Amino acid sequence: MQTPLLHPHHFDCAIIGGGLAGLTLSIQLQKKGLNIVLFEKEEYPFHKVCGEYIAMESWNYLEECGLKLREMNLPQITKLHVSAPNGNMIKHSLNPGGFGISRYTLDNELAKIAKQIGVELLDDTKVIDVKFENELFHINTQNNVYTSKIVLGAYGKRSNLDIKLKRNFAQSSGKNTNYVGVKYHVKANLPDDLIELHNFSDGYCGISKVDGESYCLCYLTTADNLKKSGNDIKEMEQRILMKNPFLEKYFTEFPILFDAPLAISQINFSSKKSIENHIIMLGDAAGLITPLCGNEMSMALHASKILSELLPSYFENKLSRRELEKLYSKLWNKQFSTRLKTGRIIQSFFGNQWLTNIFISVLKPFPFLIKKIVELTHGKPF
């Protein structure tokens, strides 16, 4: 199926963004005989703001991509504890649950596999513009121009390209449009099989074990909370997060393994389009679900799987570009729209300290309701 290169910078598919969505798709498409270039603006290995809990539904696909998860001795997570800002706690089992692995390790291992099988993986290479003309994409980086028949946008929750493409969500303002994420690795004396989610006013913080001896401590909150604390992360943790008794203990007692907090801002949960100017979006670039649902990485991976099955038909001339775009949008909505809607409802609900306290105390005696909520936010293995 492989098409001859027109010139050294021409590829069948160009993938922008080397996170989970982009890396796994590059591996699958390269294995199917297509010429793939992948651009990642950072240099591997690197840390990323993420809770690092992956739902079990993704296990098989990651192994299919060549990751030997079984040999990595990863913590298997089967218990969930959720606390309200006042410390009231719900305990629930997770079946089948998930596993913990740092993005530093995971993305780096996938990048190594991609390179080994022949993906042209260009890290430390930021895409600055993409143009579509006469059925061909022109992709500009700092140093070169590349061409390709297909461009996949796997560049995550927020990128310079959203502004270039004038995407609607990037211009939206109001509720759900400006969140901040912060991550640390810490040493903790908590069970390996447990993920905890602790709510505080306008945010929540997760903690669970990853590979090695570290625990990932990661939270999401509003930009307003940070502003109220003079844009000082430590101040915000003391004034707002540590009102939750669990977080007070963890932030005081657990040794932090990073020199400084890893933080990202301008996280926007507004809905997005899965195709934009013929660029096919996947992962966070196509739509974001609240991390409270613990399942965004699986959505990114699942979209990668869908595309790895669809794109070869386009290159075999079984699907036109129009048909490909239509089919992908349909499949994407079918697979993810309910999860996204549920996620948005949960996200708006958990913003309010008073409502969260009530929500947790009302749910506590009804485990079947908790089970239902967990099910609505998770998918089946793919």
Ligand X SMILES: Cc1cc2nc3c(=O)[nH]c(=O)nc-3n(C[C@H](O)[C@H](O)[C@H](O)COP(=O)(O)OP(=O)(O)OC[C@H]3O[C@@H](n4cnc5c(N)ncnc54)[C@H](O)[C@@H]3O)c2cc1C
Does 311 engage in binding with ligand X (CB under 6 A)?
A: no
Task: Name the DSSP class of 75.
Answer: P
Nearer to ligand X, 155 or 315 (CB): 155
Residue 206 identity (one-letter amino acid): G
Distances (CA, A) of 209 to 4, 91, 280: 46, 17, 34
CB-CB contact of 8 with 274 (8 Å): no
Write out the two tokens for 190: 């908590």
Q: 20 and 304 in contact (C-beta within 8 Å)? A: yes
* Contact in structure between 102 and 216 (CB atoms under 8 Å): yes
Residues that contact ligand X, how many (by CB under 6 A): 40
Would you say 19 or 351 has its CB closer to ligand X?
19
- Residue 48 pairs in a beta bridge with none
When the beta carbons of 311 and 319 are compared against ligand X, the nearer one is 311
Neighbour tally for 252: CB within 10 Å: 9
Among 54, 77, 151, 165, the residue binding ligand X under the rule CB under 6 A is 54
Q: Does 49 bind ligand X (CB under 6 A)?
A: yes
Q: Is 39 in the site for ligand X (CB under 6 A)?
A: yes
Dist. CA 182–CA 264, nearest whole Å: 7
Minimum CB separation from ligand X for residue 73, in Å?
19
Q: Does 181 bind ligand X (CB under 6 A)?
A: yes
For the bound state, the minimum distance from the C-beta of residue 2 to ligand X, rounded and expressed in Å, comes to 24
Contact window for ligand X (CB under 6 A) among 14-22, 131-139, 340-348, 367-375:
14-22
- How many other CB atoms sit within 10 Å of the CB of residue 92? 16
Q: Do the strands 10-16 and 145-153 form a parallel or antiparallel pair, or are they unpaired? A: parallel
As a whole number of angstroms, the distance between CA 110 and CA 72 comes to 14
37 near ligand X, rule: CB under 6 A: no
Q: Any contact of residue 351 with ligand X (CB under 6 A)?
A: no
Cβ closest to ligand X, residue 83 vs residue 159:
159
Q: Does 307 bind ligand X (CB under 6 A)?
A: no
- Residue 159 found at the interface with ligand X (CB under 6 A): yes
Least CB distance from residue 41 to ligand X, whole Å? 4
Chain residues binding ligand X by CB under 6 A are: 16-22, 39-42, 48-54, 126-127, 154-156, 159-161, 181, 218, 220, 267, 283-285, 291, 294-298, 300
